[in-house]
């Protein structure tokens, strides 16, 4: 005789308590192609580990708003640049707020989640960032270099990035909608390094020893000074929960400058980590997500009635 099907009263621990495990909607684009990285592989791995604690379903960002109501929490992971699905992302944010469903990361980040305006603000405030302006009138504040980087404030993953002369940068700012572009000097640097945090706790660092092969990352032993630099930006952002990645470059004179504060869906490069570091990260992330959850919704019967047993 085949075994009887599980009922709504059979929870993950087999206690028959009538309560199910919390449900998590993992928003990702498994098919997104990123140079030198495999977004889908990372989220397949991460979802497999999160299933030890949550009931997990994966969905594309274009489907997130429609599906959200059935879940206790949403986790935004490698969903690709928002500019590819801006309308769907805005609808998801509005739906999450309307339902009061927790989103991880929370929706009030001040870094890349809100666009790259923060780089201009930080530069004006004298923080250690790559010099950045968004108006033609301010181009004189930048160092005099042969080439400049021009990129959209709402860009990500190098989408829209171009290297141009000063005259071309001025012309592009003149043609673009006011405040929509950033201009930075193209500076020489030794390497890029990224610092990864869960909540305000440092987890690990990775760097690319060869600037010409920036996706070939290796574990990096962060110094006390490095972490002081990175934590300055984590504190500035003021997120109480979430994954944040502080991307920096080390200049030829040894200083660190912020490249990006990624607080929306930072790629984690988990495949580049030693197993013990990767496991520690997953454990810390699980605890952080759990701390955001309200009481899970009651179990449903096969008929779908709320609270049925």
Specify the residue for token string 């945090």: 197
Flag whether pLDDT at 4 surpasses 70: no
121: enclosing H helix or E strand: helix 117-124
Q: What are the tokens at 237?
A: 């952002």
Please tell me the predicted confidence (pLDDT) of residue 41: 94
Whether pLDDT at 5 is above 70: no
pLDDT greater than 60 at residue 296: no
- φ, ψ for residue 5 (rounded to 5)? -65, 150
DSSP string across 9-77: T--TTS---S-PPPEEEEE--TT--BTTB-HHHHHHHHHHHHTTTSEEEEE-GGGHHHHGGG-SEEEE-
* The predicted structure's pLDDT at residue 157: 61
3-class secondary structure, 195: strand
Q: How far apart are CA 131 and CA 144, in angstroms?
A: 11
What's the pLDDT score for residue 62?
95
Distance from C-alpha of 109 to C-alpha of 238, rounded to nearest angstrom: 8
Query: Which residue in 128, 72, 100 sits closest to 251, CA to CA?
Result: 128
Question: pLDDT tens digits for 146-162?
Answer: 999 998 887 666 667 88
Mean pLDDT of 88-112: 95
**Does the pLDDT at position 8 exceed 80?**
no
pLDDT over 50 at 278, yes or no: yes
Q: 163-178 burial by CB neighbour count: b if 16+ within 10 A, else e?
A: ebebeebbebbeeeee
How much is the mean pLDDT over the chain? 86
Q: What is the pLDDT of residues 192-237, one digit of tens each?
A: 999 999 999 999 999 998 877 878 899 999 999 999 999 999 999 9
Question: Which of 12 and 41 is assigned the larger pLDDT?
Answer: 41
CA distance 102 to 71: 10
- Reference 285, options 53, 12, 41; nearest CA is 53
Closest CA to 11 of 22, 25, 27: 22
Dihedral of CA atoms 59, 62, 67, 73 in degrees, nearest 10, equals 70
pLDDT digits (tens, 9 = 90+) for 171-181: 988 888 777 89
Give the CA count within 13 Å in the CB-facing half-sphere of 55.
14
- The DSSP secondary-structure symbol of 237 reads H
Give tens-digit pLDDT for 33-57: 877 678 899 999 999 999 999 999 9
Bridge partners of residue 73, in order along the sequence: 24
| Nearest partner of 136 among 183, 204, 97, judged by Cα | 183
């Amino acid at each position: 005789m085949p075994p009887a099907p599980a009922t709504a009263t059979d929870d993950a621990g087999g206690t028959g308590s009538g309560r199910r495990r919390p449900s998590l909607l993992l928003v990702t684009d498994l098919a997104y192609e990123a140079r030198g990285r495999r977004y889908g592989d990372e989220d397949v791995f991460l979802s497999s580990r999160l299933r030890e604690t949550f009931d997990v379903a994966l969905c594309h960002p274009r489907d997130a708003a429609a599906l959200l109501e059935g879940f206790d929490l949403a986790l935004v992971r490698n969903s690709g640049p928002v500019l590819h699905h801006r309308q769907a992302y805005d609808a998801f944010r509005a739906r999450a707020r309307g339902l009061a469903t927790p989103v991880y990361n929370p929706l009030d980040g001040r870094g890349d989640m809100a666009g790259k305006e923060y780089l201009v603000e930080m530069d004006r405030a004298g923080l250690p960032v790559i010099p950045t302006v968004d108006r033609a009138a301010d181009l004189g504040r930048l160092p005099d270099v042969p080439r400049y980087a021009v990129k959209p404030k709402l860009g990500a993953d190098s989408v829209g990035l171009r290297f141009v002369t000063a005259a071309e940068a001025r012309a592009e700012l003149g043609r673009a909608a006011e405040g929509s572009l950033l201009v930075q000097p193209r500076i020489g640097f030794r390497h890029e390094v990224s610092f990864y945090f869960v909540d305000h706790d440092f987890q690990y660092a990775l760097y690319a020893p060869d600037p010409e092969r920036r996706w070939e990352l290796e574990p990096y032993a962060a110094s006390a000074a490095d972490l002081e630099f990175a934590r300055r930006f984590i504190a500035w952002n003021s997120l109480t929960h979430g994954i944040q990645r502080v991307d920096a470059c080390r200049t030829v004179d040894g200083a660190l400058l912020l490249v990006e504060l990624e607080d929306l869906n930072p790629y984690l490069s988990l495949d580049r980590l030693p197993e013990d570091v990767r496991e520690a990260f997953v454990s810390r992330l699980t605890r952080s997500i759990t701390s955001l959850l309200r009481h899970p919704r009651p179990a449903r019967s096969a008929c779908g009635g709320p609270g049925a047993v």
